[in-house]
């Protein structure tokens, strides 16, 4: 796990490029405190900060082949690197035991065709000094980030973090109004946009080629690839056979993700997903596992007791951090500075990662991704319910639909979301994505200054998903929509930023190509039971789990924001929603924003707090000091 950066240009001197890359490296020391490196070869200057996971004594980057032709900077982990190494031993004399050298050899040997062979999370830059060509790529799930700034003169800068790109001194930091609108809609700025007008993100499964000042971006992997079972794979014929097969798949992915030459631990909550992973980790490990959880002094929100009970059953060395509103309020300045993008989520990961690193862990496993694969979100039920009624809805006369939409748009949060879904869904994929809309259209437009209150825009992944998932059942469509939307836009992006702030490599075993493709070939009825979501996981590892866990009702993990926002966090929000603060950027309608804040304080909508908090973070992020714009 590292931070990578680069500057490619034929019109800027090697010295100026090296200076810019050095500044980007310095802004990412937290991503890789173990080693640093910069190299210049022709038009390319590459840099990296290394967090050493495999073969700690070696693996310095940038790394190049013995003949000096190919150069690599790489962020991530390739879990099948030893199998790939065995394939490449006849053509490459390996000097290290790290995955970086195997990736370098694989790219030198197979070129872009190596990408589908990689099992893991990655973002890398691969420079061919002979062809004077750079290949950039991002993993199929968007676990690892990669941001690009292309200039009018054909130069290219890239980095693992937006903050690092800005630190180069060559990237404008102007906020993109369309991205602000996107954030209000989705709780994030979906790729390829970023919060900055001059920077784009590679999307999941995309690669980019730079040559002679020209940048070309194209997909190498798509949603259809992710749900295409491996050749020879067969669906289970019974639930019992499925359960046995799932257990084998889960053991395989946990074993792969637990591979490291540094201490490995896990996040452990009171829920099923993380407990199942920790149970499987304990089953394959000969050492006592360290686990970490976040609890709250407000017991109505805290899972600390359940997490501790799970840890006792599993025999882990458990560390619990009690988080208070006062602590979060004191840390808000540092938290907002940490962010690459505004987000209303991720604070729990920030503190859990801080605790894990302080507890001697360099790699931590997380249960993120299980809800997307096994239908753990309400969006699965909601999408199916609405889709069932769509034909009857469309059969209604247009005037009746218009009146109903107008009435629902004036209702509470749930009815406004329903109105937007019925008004804008054009396919099952778009309907599934719309379950994650944050601010309804009426509110989104009202919060923005009139000149920036643009019309409805679908999620950027919608068109591709609709085209690629034709013929898939609704469960699979919803699953992929969750992975390409909320998981990639919010969960994975926040997890990367928050964990790497504390030099912690966070791994997500449920977000694994072999597991996803195996599940895609299995009957939906075995994967998903609407009344008992994720019962498939419970059945697969039932012999390892605490008996009381299976009897607990699922509850989503949430911080007690609604309480804190009327207490310790209120001064921050009062200041953020002040006339001067809201008006500073010129992007918002101050009257509407302040009315929204007062509406929350009056307590009319029990679930509106998340939107108010997200709006506050957005305004504070936009108002934070930014580097000089070149």
Q: Return the active site residues.
A: 2
d(CA 529, CA 538): 12
d(CA 54, CA 254): 17
User: Angle between the 347-358 and 325-338 helix axes, to the nearest 10 degrees?
Assistant: 90
Residue 461 phi, psi dihedral angles, 5° rounding = -85, -5
Which residue in the block uniquely carries the two structure tokens 């979301």? 417
Q: Tokens at residue 116, please?
A: 């589908």
Strands (E), 186-335: 200-201, 206-211, 214-219, 264-267, 290-296, 317-323
3-state secondary structure 223-258: HHHHCCCCCCCCCCCCHHHHHHHHHHHHHHHHHHHC
Nearest in space to 94 (alpha carbons), one of 497, 86, 107, 214: 86
Torsion of Cα atoms, 186 then 189 then 193 then 194, to 10°:
170
Q: Tokens at residue 18, please?
A: 């090296």
User: Angle between the 325-338 and 609-623 helix axes, to the nearest 10 degrees?
Assistant: 50
Task: Answer yes or no: are the C-beta atoms of 573 and 597 closer than 8 Å.
Answer: yes
Q: Which residues of 355-365 are buried (b: 16+ CB within 10 A; e: fewer)?
A: bbbebebbbbb
Task: Answer yes or no: are the C-beta atoms of 144 and 123 closer than 8 Å.
Answer: yes
Nearest in space to 541 (alpha carbons), one of 306, 237, 272, 252: 272
Task: Answer yes or no: are the C-beta atoms of 340 and 161 closer than 8 Å.
Answer: yes
Neighbours of 474 (CB within 10 A): 18
Q: Tokens at residue 80, please?
A: 């099948």
Tell me how far CA of residue 350 lies from CA of 49, 492, 496, 498, 499, in angstroms: 20, 13, 10, 5, 6
Q: Tokens at residue 463, please?
A: 């068109």
User: Angle between the 378-395 and 474-482 helix axes, to the nearest 10 degrees?
Assistant: 120
Strand partners, 37: 48
Residues 6+ apart with CB under 8 A from 302: 295, 296
Q: Tokens at residue 29, please?
A: 């020391």
Q: Is the peptide bond before 62 cis (omega within 30 degrees of 0)?
A: yes
Q: Tokens at residue 626, please?
A: 């930014």
Strands (E), 494-567: 505-507
DSSP 341: S
d(CA 147, CA 505): 19
Task: Answer yes or no: are the C-beta atoms of 590 and 579 closer than 8 Å.
Answer: yes
What sign has the CA pseudo-torsion 443, 448, 451, 457?
negative
DSSP 453: -
Helix or strand run (H / E) with residue 134: strand 133-138
Residue 232 phi, psi dihedral angles, 5° rounding = 90, -10
């Amino acid at each position: 796990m590292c931070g990578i950066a680069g500057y490619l240009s034929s019109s800027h001197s090697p010295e100026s490029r090296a200076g810019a890359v050095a500044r980007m490296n310095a802004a990412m020391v937290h991503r890789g405190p173990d080693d640093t490196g910069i190299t210049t070869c022709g038009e390319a200057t590459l840099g990296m900060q290394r967090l050493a996971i495999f073969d700690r004594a070696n693996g310095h980057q940038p790394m190049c082949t013995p003949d000096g032709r190919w150069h690599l900077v790489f962020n991530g982990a390739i879990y099948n690197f030893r199998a790939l190494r065995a394939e490449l031993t006849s053509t490459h004399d390996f000097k290290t035991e790290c995955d970086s050298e195997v990736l370098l050899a694989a790219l030198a040997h197979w070129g872009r065709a190596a990408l589908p062979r990689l099992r893991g999370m990655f973002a890398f830059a691969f420079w061919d000094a002979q062809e004077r060509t750079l290949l950039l790529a991002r993993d199929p799930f968007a676990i690892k980030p990669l941001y690009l700034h292309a200039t009018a003169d054909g130069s290219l800068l890239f980095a693992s973090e937006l903050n690092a790109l800005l630190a180069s001194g060559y990237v404008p930091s102007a906020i993109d109004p369309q991205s602000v609108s996107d954030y209000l809609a989705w709780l994030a700025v979906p790729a390829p946009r970023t919060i900055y007008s001059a920077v784009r993100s590679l999307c999941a499964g995309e690669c980019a080629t730079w040559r002679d000042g020209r940048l070309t971006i194209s997909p190498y992997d798509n949603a259809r690839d992710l749900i295409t079972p491996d050749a020879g794979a067969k669906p289970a014929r019974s639930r019992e056979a499925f359960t046995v097969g799932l257990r084998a798949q889960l053991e395989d992915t946990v074993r792969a993700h637990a591979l490291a030459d540094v201490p490995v631990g896990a996040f452990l909550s009171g829920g099923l997903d993380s407990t199942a992973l920790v149970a499987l980790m304990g089953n394959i490990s000969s050492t006592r596992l360290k686990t970490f959880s976040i609890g709250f002094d407000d017991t109505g929100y805290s899972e600390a007791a359940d997490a501790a009970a799970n840890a006792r059953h599993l025999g882990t060395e458990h560390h619990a951090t009690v988080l208070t509103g006062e602590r979060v309020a004191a840390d808000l300045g540092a938290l907002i500075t940490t962010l690459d993008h505004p987000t209303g989520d991720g604070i729990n990961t920030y503190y859990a990662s801080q605790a894990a690193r302080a507890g001697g862990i360099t790699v931590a496993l997380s249960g993120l991704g299980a809800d997307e694969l096994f239908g753990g979100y309400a969006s699965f039920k909601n999408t199916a319910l609405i889709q069932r009624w769509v034909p009857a809805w469309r059969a209604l006369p247009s005037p009746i639909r218009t009146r109903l939409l107008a009435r629902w748009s004036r209702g509470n949060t749930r009815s406004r979301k329903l109105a937007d879904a019925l008004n804008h869904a054009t396919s099952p994929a778009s309907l599934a994505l719309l379950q994650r809309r944050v601010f309804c259209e009426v509110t989104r437009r009202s919060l923005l200054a009139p000149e920036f209150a643009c019309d409805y825009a679908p999620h950027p992944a919608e068109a591709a998903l609709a085209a690629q998932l034709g013929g898939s059942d609704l469960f699979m469509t919803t699953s992929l929509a969750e992975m390409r939307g909320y998981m990639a836009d919010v969960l994975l992006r926040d997890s990367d930023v928050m964990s790497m702030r504390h030099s912690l490599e966070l791994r997500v075993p449920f977000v694994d190509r072999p597991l996803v493709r195996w599940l895609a070939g299995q009957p939906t009825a075995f994967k998903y039971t609407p009344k008992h979501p994720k019962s498939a996981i419970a059945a697969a590892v039932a012999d390892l789990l605490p008996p009381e866990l299976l009897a607990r009702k699922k509850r989503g993990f949430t911080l007690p924001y609604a309480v804190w926002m009327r207490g310790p966090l209120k001064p921050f929000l009062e200041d953020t929603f002040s006339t001067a603060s809201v008006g500073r950027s010129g992007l918002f309608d101050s009257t509407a924003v302040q009315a929204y804040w007062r509406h929350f304080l009056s307590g009319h909508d029990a679930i509106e707090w998340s939107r108010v908090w997200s709006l506050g973070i957005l305004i504070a992020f936009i108002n934070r000091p930014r580097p000089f714009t070149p």
